[in-house]
Amino acid sequence: MIIRSVEFAGSVASPKNPLPGDLPQVAFSGRSNVGKSSLINVLLGRTRKKVARVSSKPGKTQMLNFYRVNDRFFLVDLPGFGYARAPGPVRDSWRRLVEWYLSRPESLCGVVHLVDGRHPPFKLDQEMMEYLGELGVPALVILTKMDRVPKGKREKTLDSAAEKLALDPEQLLAFSSKTGEGRDSLLTALDDLLPPQEG
């Protein structure tokens, strides 16, 4: 897939809000501070003029943010979870919003879930994989910040994460927003998740 156009299409703050369109959708999820905004900017080729806000403070994404890519699909940035400093009611509202969105079968083609490659997957990551499995939503796991994992430990890191998340190894990809590693592989994976283009 070649990224030709990207535009912010709108945010959804509540299940009562309409979605910005009916294009196929791929959602990106992950714990706060996993590097989701950085990955999205690198993936979409928007490292100079960023589309996803990168913050030094985790938990900034509090709504479902929709980006129209190539007029073909929406990349949906989900609120980060596991951010302890956000008040309990706020975290609960994020969770309800995400669960409502993921349980809608129409238009959602899959979820790309991000895990910090420097650490073993957390319990919340395991719960997310189990939840997507129950919903029957295709999932791909990206291990981020892999430039910080020593080369001698990379294969073991990938195998260990696959085992802990009960995934096939081909459902995991290594990624680095710093070096761009994994970008082409992730674009190819997105192409496979989406309906074939007409013509």
CATH number of the domain at 59, please: 3.40.50.300
Q: Taking residues 109-131, what's their average pLDDT?
A: 92
- Provide the CB-side half-sphere exposure for 151 (13 A, CA): 0
Coil, helix or strand at residue 116: strand
Q: Is residue 199 part of a domain?
A: no
The residue whose two tokens read 């990349």 is: 75
Does residue 91 surpass a pLDDT of 60? no
Q: What is the spatial distance between Cα 178 and Cα 35, in angstroms, rounded to a whole number?
A: 11
- pLDDT 10s digits, 20-45: 999 999 999 998 788 888 999 999 98
Q: Is residue 198 part of a domain?
A: no
Residue range of the domain that includes 34: 6-193
- Tell me what pLDDT residue 199 has: 54
**Domain total for the chain?**
1
The model's confidence at residue 143, banded by pLDDT at 50, 70 and 90, is: very high
The model's confidence at residue 92, banded by pLDDT at 50, 70 and 90, is: low
- pLDDT 10s digits, 157-190: 999 999 999 998 888 999 999 999 999 999 999 9
Q: Is residue 1 part of a domain?
A: no
- Tell me what pLDDT residue 104 has: 77
